[in-house]
Amino acid sequence: MKQIIVFSIIFFSTNVYSFPIPENNKVSFDIVRKNKTIGSVVTDFKIEEDQLIIDTVVDIKVKILLFPAYKFHQETTEIWVDNEFIEINGYTDFEDEREYFIKGKDIEDNFIASGMDGELKLDKNIFPLNYWNKKILDETEVFDTQKGIVRKITVKKLENEFIKINDKKIEVEKYTLDASKNPKDKGPFPTYTIWYKGDELIKFEFKNWKDKKTITTIRNDLSD
């Protein structure tokens, strides 16, 4: 299976940030493959003085005939101040024993980061590749939080549509996102389809390049 890129947001609360923060400071998603839940995405939000701290955990486990077939785990902490992404610490554990420790921080006029390709000196205004922040759709380059690298992205707006969650139809905006491939990637970066209601992330999915199965990440905490 291809890696899952995650991250999240729920109902609006009054705040100074340009993106929505959950009223209960937490949001969660199910990760679904072949109509079975294989994992979860949980994001917690915490405000400490002038900092917004966003902790996200992605955990995926797939079994075939009760035996483990695939595992993926990611933990990421982002720090934002006044709508500016200023720091990240992360860890990604892929199924094939690849492990990446991701770091990044605003230092003077640059964002100094490290990951799969070693140390990088990036634009201070770079955005993390996390779909919970809808403003990512306006970017052309982003910081991949799984591998600690830069990817170029292209976004296309599709027609709005209705999706069903908890037997309730919700009208959402629909987009596709493509990203550049790194020479160290094990396979092509998949096209992601992403659905938002306003600025709120509702669902995203991609097709695994190995087995052609669709992996869907969808909100599980929306009220009826």
Give dist(CA 33, CA 31) in Å, integer. 7
The predicted-structure confidence for 90-131, as pLDDT tens digits, reads as follows: 999 987 678 999 999 999 999 999 999 999 999 999 999 989
Report if residue 62 sits inside a domain: yes
| Torsion on CA atoms 222, 199, 33, 148, rounded to nearest 10 | -130
Give dist(CA 214, CA 151) in Å, integer. 22
* The pair of three-digit structure tokens given for residue 13, joined into one six-digit string: 């609360």
What is the domain extent for residue 50? 26-219
Number of independent structural domains in the chain: 1
Report if residue 65 sits inside a domain: yes
* The pair of three-digit structure tokens given for residue 132, joined into one six-digit string: 């919970």
Spell out a b/e string for 82-97, using b for 16 or more CB atoms within 10 Å of the CB, else e. eeebbbbebebebbee
The predicted-structure confidence for 149-180, as pLDDT tens digits, reads as follows: 999 999 999 999 999 887 889 999 999 999 99
